[in-house]
Amino acid sequence: MEKLLMTPGPTNVPERVLNKMNEKMIHHRTSEYSNLFREFNERLKFVFQTSNNVLTFPSAGTGALEASIANCFSTGDRILAVSIGDFGDRFIQIAKIYGLTVDEIKVPWGKAVSLEEIKNNLKDYHKGLIITHNETSTGAVNPIKEIGEYLKDKNILYIVDAVSSLGGIDIRMDEWNIDVIVTASQKALMSPPGLSFVGVSKKAFEYCKVSNIPKFYFDFLNANKFLEKADPQNPYTPAVSLISAANEALAMIEEEGLNNVFLRHKILADKFREEIKGMGLNIFTDENALSNTITAISFENANDIKNRLEKEYNIIVAGGQGAAKGKMIRVGHMGCINEEMIYRTMNAIREII
Ligand SMILES: *Cc1c(COP(=O)(O)O)cnc(C)c1O
C-alpha cells in the first residue's frame, strides 16, 4: 500500500506539483522568473481572497508568524492574543520574545473563543489582536469572520495565523477586514514544505513603517518593494523550485474552483467524523467549533493506534501535542485529499479498534 499522509502538514503533494521541482533551474533576476513570480502572486491573491499583496518567504509557517510580529509592532506595544491550543501559545511566546506586552485570552482546549470574550477583553490601548484561525492541536476553529466584522474601522491590527486552514476553509481577507494573514505551503495548499506566505493590508504596511524591532531578511517593506517592481522579484535568492511547485498547486485550486475546494473539504470532514462517531469513538473538539481540515480523536492508547496505522497500514497521522500527548490522534484531511483516502483511513481505524 502506498504511503498516505493524513497529517496536518506536510500533506500529500500531487504528481503535477512534484514534477515542477524536476524542471531546469531558472535564474531569479530574469524575466523568465519574474513572469513565474507575477503569475504566482496573482494566484496567491486569489486564494487569500484579497487585493492586497501577499509576500513569499523561504521559511516554515513559524518564520512568517515571527516576521509578522517583528514587522508590525514595536517593543512595549500592548496587544490582545487569543490562544485555544498549542499554536496560539506559540504565537504568544513569539510576541513576548520581541518585547510586546501581551494580554491573553486562554480558552480551554477543544473550544473556540467567542466574540463576547473578544469584546470584553479588547481595550483602546491594544495595538493588535493575534489569533489562530484553525487550531491544529485541538481541531477547533475560531470565528475570525465575526471578529473581523466587529473590528472593522477599529484602530487595531488584526493578525490571523491561518497556516492549517487557508486553501481548505473559506477565509476572505478583504471582506473580513483581516490585516495580516500567515500561511505556509505544506498544509491545505498541497505543496512541499519550505515556503511561507503573508497577506499584508495597506494599514499593516503603515504599522511596518513605524516598527522599531530590528529585522533584515524578513523585512516586509523591502519584500514588498521588490514585489512591486514592473518585473516582480524577491530581495534575496528565492526558493525557485518550491515557488514553481506551489504555483502549480495554486493552478489546480483555481481549476477546481475555490468554493468547490472548500466544499470538498467540508464533505470529507463531515463524512469522516460521522464514521468515527459511528464507531463509538470520541471527537476531542466541541461540536460547534469543528474544523474541516483536521479531526482530533481521543484515545486512551493513542500512541498504539498511531503506530499501528503507520506500521500495518502505511498511514501517517499525528499524535497529541502538549497536555494531549499520548491521548489523541489528529487526522489531517486537507489539501490533496479525496474520498478514497478518507475511506482507507476510516477502515484502518475500524480494523484496529
Ligand atoms: C503547522 C502550523 C504552524 C507552524 O507551521 P510550521 O510550518 O511548522 O512552522 C503554525 N500555526 C498553525 C495553526 C499550524 O497548523
Report how far ligand 1's centroid is from the alpha carbon of 84 (Å): 14
Cβ–ligand 1 contact at 60 (below 6 Å): yes
Mean pLDDT of the chain, nearest integer: 98
- Probe ligand 1: pick from 65, 89, 163, max atoms within 8 Å of CB? 163
Residue 240 has pLDDT above 90, yes or no: yes
**Residue ranges with strand state E in 148-276:** 157-161, 180-184, 196-200
Q: Which amino acid is at 19?
A: N
CB atoms within 10 A of CB 140: 27
Q: What is the mean pLDDT of residues 229-257?
A: 98
CATH numbers and ranges of domains, the chain: 4-11+257-352 (3.90.1150.10), 16-254 (3.40.640.10)
Residue 308 has pLDDT above 90, yes or no: yes
- Probe ligand 1: pick from 59, 82, 138, 161, max atoms within 8 Å of CB? 161
By DSSP bridging, strand 180-184 and strand 157-161 are parallel
Asked if residue 283 lies in contact with residue 277, where contact means CB atoms within 8 angstroms, the answer is: yes
**DSSP summary character for residue 281:** P
**DSSP summary character for residue 265:** H
Question: What's this model's pTM, rounded to 2 decimal places?
Answer: 0.98
Residue 226 has pLDDT above 90, yes or no: yes
Report how far ligand 1's centroid is from the alpha carbon of 229 (Å): 30
Asked if residue 85 lies in contact with residue 109, where contact means CB atoms within 8 angstroms, the answer is: yes
Would you state the pLDDT for residue 259?
Answer: 98
Whole-angstrom Cα distance, residue 183 to residue 196? Answer: 6
Whole-angstrom Cα distance, residue 36 to residue 40? Answer: 6
At 219, the pLDDT band (50, 70, 90 cuts) reads: very high
pLDDT tens digit string along 92-141? 999 999 999 999 999 999 999 999 999 999 999 999 999 999 999 999 99
Residue 1 has pLDDT above 90, yes or no: no
**Residue ranges with strand state E in the chain:** 4-5, 53-57, 78-83, 101-106, 128-132, 134-135, 140-141, 157-161, 180-184, 196-200, 282-283, 294-298, 315-316, 318-319, 328-332
By DSSP bridging, strand 128-132 and strand 78-83 are parallel
Is residue 246 within a helix (H) or strand (E), and if so which, with residue range? helix 240-256
pLDDT tens digit string along 276-285? 999 999 999 9
Q: What is the mean pLDDT of residues 163-191?
A: 98
Whole-angstrom Cα distance, residue 14 to residue 31? Answer: 27
Q: Which amino acid is at 282?
A: N
**DSSP summary character for residue 188:** T
pLDDT tens digit string along 284-293? 999 999 999 9
Would you state the pLDDT for residue 172?
Answer: 98
Question: Which percentage of the chain shows pLDDT scores above 90?
Answer: 99
Asked if residue 99 lies in contact with residue 76, where contact means CB atoms within 8 angstroms, the answer is: yes
At 3, the pLDDT band (50, 70, 90 cuts) reads: very high
Whole-angstrom Cα distance, residue 175 to residue 183? Answer: 18
Q: What is the mean pLDDT of residues 310-323?
A: 96
At 228, the pLDDT band (50, 70, 90 cuts) reads: very high
Per-residue 3-state assignment (H helix, E strand, C coil) for 17-69 = HHHHCCCCCCCCCCHHHHHHHHHHHHHHHHHHCCCCEEEEECCCHHHHHHHHH
Atom from ligand 1 closest to the CA of residue 193: 7
Q: What is the mean pLDDT of residues 38-48?
A: 98
